[in-house]
A = this chain, B = another copy of it.
Amino acid sequence: MPQFELEIREARESDAQNLIDFLNQVGKETTYLTMDEAGILLSVSEMQEVIRKMADAPNQLYLLALLDDEVAGVLSISADFHERIFHIGELFLVVAKRFSRNGLGTLLLEEALTWAKENGVIKRLELTVQVRNKRAVHLYQKMGFFIEAEQERGAYVEEEGFLPVYRMAQLID
Whether the pair B124, A152 counts as a contact (CB closer than 8 A) is yes
By size class, the interface of chain A is 20 to 34
Question: Assembly of this chain: how many copies?
Answer: 2
A residues adjacent to B (C-beta < 8 A): 31, 33-36, 38, 80, 82-88, 123-124, 126, 148-149, 151-158, 162, 167, 169, 171
Which residues does chain B contribute within 8 Å of A31, judged by CB atoms? 84
Whether the pair B157, A34 counts as a contact (CB closer than 8 A) is no
Whether the pair A149, B149 counts as a contact (CB closer than 8 A) is yes
Whether the pair B169, A151 counts as a contact (CB closer than 8 A) is yes
5 closest Cβ contacts across the A-B interface? A149-B149, A124-B153, A148-B149, A34-B84, A84-B155
Whether the pair B87, A156 counts as a contact (CB closer than 8 A) is yes
Whether the pair A82, B35 counts as a contact (CB closer than 8 A) is yes
Bound form: Cα–Cα A169–B38 in Å: 27
Whole-angstrom distance between the Cβ of A37 and the nearest chain B Cβ: 9
